[in-house]
Structure 1
Amino acid sequence: MTRPASPTAYRTLDPAGIRAFLAAQPALAARLGGQPDVWRVHEVSDGNLNNVFLVDGPAGGICFKQSLPHVRVDPNWKMPLDRTAFEAAYLRAVRPHVGDLTTELLHFDPDLFVLVVESLDGHVVLRHGLMQGGDWPDAAAAIGRFVARATFPTSPLALKFEDASTLLAPFARNHTLTRITVDLVLTDPYHPHPRNRWLSPELDATVAALRADPAVRRRVGQMQARFLTCQQALLHGDLHTGSVMVSGSDTRVIDGEFALPGPIGFDCGLFVGNLLMHLFATPAPEGRARALRDIDRFWTHFRQDFTTLWTNAIACGQSGDAYAAPLFRDDPASLQQVQTQFLDDIEADTIAFAALEIIRRTTGYAHVADFDLITDRTARAARQEAALRLARDMLAEPARTPTISALGALAAARAA
C-alpha cells in the first residue's frame, strides 16, 4: 500500500512543523490562502490513536491528521504508523461511490504518515450532539446510504473476482487495527483481561453471568468466525456515532483507518449498537424515541439502497461474479428471493455485532461517553445492566430479536 517510513524521515509535527509542511504543498497552501504565520492551527484530537488539527487560513481550512508511533492516550502502547495510509486508501476506494457522505482526500505523505482532508469545522461529532439533545433527522438515513454505497460496489456482487481481490487484498494487511478489533471487540470482554473495566461491584454479577453463559459463548465464537472468514466487502471497520460528523442536513463519515474486508453486518452492527447504548443512556423520552427512529431509518435506507444498487447492476449487465447477471436478468422473482435472503443474513449479523458492541463498550477497554449523562452511579449501573441484558438476549436467544424492527420493540420496552 505504501512504503515503510524511514526512521530518519518520520517525525511528529507540532504546530510550527504543520505550518511548514503545508506551506511546502502548493495546492494546500493555496487552499488556506495568505501566509503561514497567519494560519490558525487548532488541535482537535478526540480519538485514541492519532493527532488531529484543524488549520484555517484567509481562504479556507483543512484537517491535518498524523499517525503517532503509539496510542495517543497511552504512550506505552506502541503502534506502527501505517493507519493513516489505510485511511487514505479507504477514502480513495469509497469516495467515488459515496461522494459527500465522507471527506475529500487532499493529500497523503507516506514518510510522515500525514493525511490531509477537507475541514468539517462547523460540524459536530454525532455522539456529542446526541448527548446534548440535538436532533439530525436525516443523519441515520445518510449513514444507511453510506454503508450500502461503500459496500455493494466493493463486493463481488458488483465486481469480477479479480477486481474484488485486487481491491480488498491491501486492506487484508491492516493487521494492527484488525488485531485491536479482534481483541477489544470480539474476545477480551468474555474472559479476565487487565484492559477490561466496568462499574464494579454493581455490574460484577451481570458480567460474570455473561461470561458463564454457554449460549453467549457459542454465539460470540460464531461471530468471531464470521468476522474473520466472511470477506463480503470493504468495511469502514469502526462505524460508531463518534465516527460521524453532522451539520444541518450534511452528514459525513470520518476515521476510516480500521478499514478491512469483512461481513457487511459488522459496520451496520457497530452503528446500531451505539444507537442502542444512546437509547439506554438517554433520560428524556423524546431522546429515546429519536434513537429508535434513527435505528429504523438507518436500516431501512441501507436495505433499500443496497437492493436498488444490486437490481440496477443486474439490469445493466454490470454485476459481479457473485449472483451473476445471466442467472437473474430474466427472472426478477428469483432475484428478489436471493436479495431478501442475503439481506436477512446481513440483518442477523447486524443484530449480533450490535450486541458485541454493547458488551465491549460497557465491560471492555473503550467505553462510550453516552452513559456519562447519568451522574448517579447507581442509576448509571442500572441502565448499563439493562443494556447488557438486552445484548445477552440478542446473542443467546436470537429468536427474540429476529429483525431490526423486533429489536427496536424489545429495546424500547427494556429502556422505558
Structure 2
Amino acid sequence: MIRLSDIEDAQTILNGRILRTPMLPAPKFSALTGAEVFVKYENLQVTNSFKERGALNKLASLTAQDRARGVIAMSAGNHAQAVAYHAARLGIAATIVMPVTTPAVKVAATRAYGATVVLHGETIAESQARAEDLHARHGLIFIHPYDDPRIIAGQGSIAIEMLDERPDLDCLVVPIGGGGLISGNAIAAKAINPAIEVVGVEAELYPSMWNALHGEDRPCGGATLAEGIAVKNVGKLTLPIIRELVSDVLLVSESQLERAVNAYLTLQKTMAEGAGAAGLAAMLKEPARFKGKRVGLILCGGNIDPRILASIMVRELERGEQIVSFRLTIPDRPGVLGQIATRLGDLGANILQVDHKRLFLDVPAKGARLDVTVETRDHAHAEEIMAALAADGYHPARIHVSDVMG
C-alpha cells in the first residue's frame, strides 16, 4: 500500500535535489482542444524526464552496503538516464540493460552519465530478462522502472506540485507504460482531491494496461514513436492502483502521437518525445471528452532523436498541405523546366526539390516525368497550383513527399 504520506516523504527527499519543474498554461493547446490546458514541464529535468524522481527516491533509500554492491536497471532510455545520473552523484556503480531499438541519443546520454550499458533484446521484456540474470549472478540491486513502491512514490510528487499550483484542476491526463507514473500521481491526486479525474494514455501498438483492465488480448508490439511507454508487461503493483483510481485508458495512434509532438514543438516551443506527448495526443483524439475542463498534462520526457523530430515536422507539413509533391508529364524540349519554374513562382509556390526523369515507359518517347516538391500556404493554395498546372496541360498527380525526398 502506497499512501499520500509516502509520496510526501519522497517529495522531502527530492526537495533541492531535482528541479521543481514549472507548470504553465497552454492557451494554444486550449484553443485546439476546447479545454483549459496546463502543462507540467518534466522535460526540463537534468536528464529531460520525470524518471529522476522515482530513481532518486529509490537510490537514496539504499544502505551503504547496498550502494557498494552497485545497481542494475532495464530501460528504453529515460529510467536508464535517471538511474545513471543519480547513481553517479551518489557514488554508486550502475549497469543499465537497454533494448537494441533504443534511440541512439538515449544510449549515448546514459553512457555519458557514467553507467555501463548493455544492449540486449528488441523489447523491454527481453531487456528485463537479461537484467534479472545479471542481478542474480552479480548480486546487484535491482532498480525497477515502475514496479517498486519508492519509484511510484517518487513519481507521485508531480501531482502534489501540480495541485499545489492549480488545486482547481478537473483532470490529469497521464501516459502509461508499466504504470509507475500514473499510479503515483493517481494516489496523490485522489488523496488531495477525491473528485479529480485521472485518465491514462497508451500507444495503440502497446495496449498492455488496456488489455489487463478489459480482459482483452489486443496485439502488443511494433515500432512506435512512444518507445518510452512501449511496455508489454504491466506492473503487479501498478495494475490494482490503476484499476481502482484511473477512470479511463485511451489508446492513441502513431499519427496522433506525431501530431502531438509537432504541436509541442511548433506551438509551445518545447521538445516532447512520443511518450511525453501522449497526453496531448489523447486530447487531440477526443477533444469532446475534455471540453470545458481544466486539464493538467505531464510532458514527461523530451528525449527524442533529432532525425525523428525532423521527419515528424516534414510529415506534419505534408499533412497540412504546406509541403506538396506532384508528378507532371512534360514535353522533353529546351526551356520547359524554366517555364514551369516561372509558373510556380508566379503562383507563389517555393520549389524545394525537382526530380527530372526521361527513361520511363509510362511517358511518351518525346516526353519526360517531372516530380516537384513545393512549399504552399495551405490546402486552398495547393489546389490552386494543381488546377493551374492541369490547365497548362501538364497532367499533375499528387504523390507523397517521401516518394520524392526519400
Q: TM-score range by the shorter chain?
A: under 0.3
Q: Which structure shows the higher helix fraction?
A: 1
Structure number with greater CO (CA < 8 Å, separation at least 6) is 1
Q: Give the structure-1-normalised TM-score.
A: 0.23
Q: Which structure shows the higher strand fraction?
A: 2
Q: Give the structure-2-normalised TM-score.
A: 0.23
Structure number with larger C-alpha Rg: 2
